[in-house]
Amino acid sequence: MNRINDIFNIIQSANRTVALTGAGVSTLSGLPDFRSKKGLWKQYDQNRVFSLDYFKTDPEYFFNFARQYIFPFLDAEPSIIHHLLAQLEQKKMLRRVITQNIDMLHTKAGNKGVLELHGSPERNFCVTCGKEFSFGQIIAKIESEKFPLCDSCGGVLKPDIIFFGEMLHADVLDTAFHEARQADCCLVMGTSLVVSPAASIPEIAAHYGAKVIIVNREATPLDRLADIVIHTELDTFGSTLMQLLNTR
């Protein structure tokens, strides 16, 4: 409790807090993660699911996966951490959310201008003509098609999720790095910090003088540079910090 008090005081006194979130935030909403011992890669071949080259030859494989693990995002509800970050932003105590997640739950909770490093299924486009489609339009198409096709040219539709073999969107990454350089507090939650370039965000923030706080169930390679590290369940942490936020 004392360390959570310390975290609250750091956030309260900071001028530019940024948050970096990973899969641990979304598993609280009932969504599976990718890299845990029981993660999705134990059930699906990651070299095929998010391979751009494989998608071009067999899009049906990806959309079989998507039916089980991406389309349910539409019905998922934000977790305590999503609500916490939305409330921090509403109270002008949080500058920006940067996330590795593709589930759109930060936006659903109320955060504005979320930086989605790995893209979002909310945006979809035809790989042939570039026509754009919404997440809802894709779901409607999947009900009658093995994989969604463009109604203009017949090309395959691909969600704007970063596949292996694709570069991250430069504008999103540049903005995330800028926010890290400008931050005086970097709150990291629910990520193992083993995937680049997301893992470099707290390093950049620390280099430029920010206080770094890491909250994760397990140790991370960057615990050494953090000012405060808490290994705990995120729902417990989130509930306690939310109570402090609502009583101060």
Residue 118 catalytic?
yes
What does the radius of gyration of the chain's CA atoms come to, in whole angstroms?
Answer: 19
Q: How far is CA 24 from CA 32, 53, 111, 131, 168, in A?
A: 9, 29, 18, 34, 21
d(CA 26, CA 193): 15
d(CA 62, CA 55): 7
- The β-bridge partners of 20 are 98, 188
What is the biggest distance separating any 2 CA atoms in the chain, rounded to whole angstroms? 60
136 is written with which tokens? 């809802």
75 is written with which tokens? 């019905």
- 3-state class percentages of the chain: helix first, strand second, coil last, to nearest 5: 45, 20, 40
**Among 82, 83, 106, 118, the one annotated catalytic:** 118
DSSP 220: -
Q: How many residues does the chain have?
A: 248
Residues designated as active site = 118
